[in-house]
Amino acid sequence: MKHVLLIALSLIMIYPLIWLVVSSLKPNAQIFTDLSIFTTDLSLDNYVEGWDAQFLPFHIYLMNSSILVIGAIIGNLISCSMAAYAFARLDFRFRNLTFAIMLGTILLPFHVVLVPQFILFRELGWLDTFLPLVVPKFLATEAFFVFLMVQFIRSLPNELYEAARIDGAGHIRQFVQVTLPLMIPALATTTIFTFIWTWADFFGPLIYLRSPENYVVPQALTMFIDGQSTSNFGAMFAMSVVSLIPMFIAFLIGQKFLVKGFAKSGIK
């Protein structure tokens, strides 16, 4: 009984995604005349056509997205782990105050800093470059990950640090040689979340990336709606699928970390 209910719900949840994939493989004329997902008339034509449908070939957009993602991951890993180590292991002045502020920024809507940041990046001459979207990640602006890592470091046994201290390890060695290797699960969670969120992010690129050669995948997809090419649903679906595949792979690889990390940041 339970299973019947859950399977039914699963099908409802996942059906639109399956329909998207199947439709992307169908000839344009059939997509809306035959809404079923059972068909034998499948081809990759839409993919070939969609790849070159928007101004530049799609791999340019994929490349741009990849650059952003890699920059964001490296930045988050370095800066958030440093901040987390300070909050979790070190006893310094204003620690409680700065920690409370850091937690507060998780809840702060970013719209309130949107305009001044835009002005700042404009003054710096960074508009239409990747810098506004990558540099902040090197300065631990994603407080959610700092918090996630703080929780993780706190759970590490103190004895390890005492042993390291007795061996004469300073804070840098305690961070690099003790903390980082032990917090690989938290780093993996951060990597996968950063990947998925940056890959899907639309608002940041919409504001900062202006010329088509700098566009990322989500922007390239919106060109399918903006343009007069709206009738080419097959190509649009095909490129939508292309944009979802990396997220899906990240999900498959990182499932364990995603579920654990998310639950961990939520409760314990």
Partner 1 sequence: MSSLGELRTMAKRTKAERGQPKAKRKHRDNKAGFFFLLPWLIGFFVFTGGPMLVSLYLAFTNYNLLQPPEWAGFGNFARMWDDQRLWKSLEVTFLYVFVSVPFLLALALAVAVLLDKGMRGLPIYRSVFYLPSLMGGSVAIAILWRQVFGYDGLINGLLGFFGIQGPGWVAHPDYALGTLIVLNIWTFGSPMVIFLAGLRQIPDMYYEAAGVDGASKVRQFFTITLPLLTPIIFFNLVLQVIFAFQNFTQAYVVSGGTGGPSDSTLFYTLYLYQQAFNTPMQMGYASAMAWLLVLFIGALTALNFWLSKYWVFYDD
Taking the C-alpha atoms of residue 130 and residue 135, their distance in angstroms, rounded to an integer, is 8
Q: Provide the minimum distance between the beta carbon of 33 and partner 1 in the complex, in angstroms, as a whole number.
A: 8
Among 2, 41, 157, 166, binds partner 1 (CB under 8 A): 2
Q: Which is nearer to partner 1, 13 or 41 (CB)?
A: 13
How does DSSP assign 62-113, residue by residue?
HHHHHHHHHHHHHHHHHHHHHHHHHHHH---TTHHHHHHHHHHHHHS-THHH
Task: Judge residue 26's burial from the number of C-beta atoms within 10 Å of its C-beta, 0-12 exposed, 13-18 middle, 19 or more buried.
Answer: buried
Question: Does 67 sit near partner 1 (CB under 8 A)?
Answer: no
Question: Does 248 sit near partner 1 (CB under 8 A)?
Answer: yes
Question: Does 17 sit near partner 1 (CB under 8 A)?
Answer: yes
Q: Provide the minimum distance between the beta carbon of 14 and partner 1 in the complex, in angstroms, as a whole number.
A: 6
Q: Provide the minimum distance between the beta carbon of 129 and partner 1 in the complex, in angstroms, as a whole number.
A: 16
Strand boundaries in the chain, DSSP class E: none
Taking the C-alpha atoms of residue 175 and residue 101, their distance in angstroms, rounded to an integer, is 23
Number of residues that make up the chain: 268
Taking the C-alpha atoms of residue 170 and residue 85, their distance in angstroms, rounded to an integer, is 13
Question: Does 114 sit near partner 1 (CB under 8 A)?
Answer: yes
* Interactions with partner 1, residue window 175-204 (CB under 8 A): 175, 196, 199-200, 202-203
Question: Does 112 sit near partner 1 (CB under 8 A)?
Answer: yes
* Interactions with partner 1, residue window 27-56 (CB under 8 A): 32, 35
Contact string 73-92 vs partner 1 (x = CB under 8 A): -----xx--xx-xxx--xxx
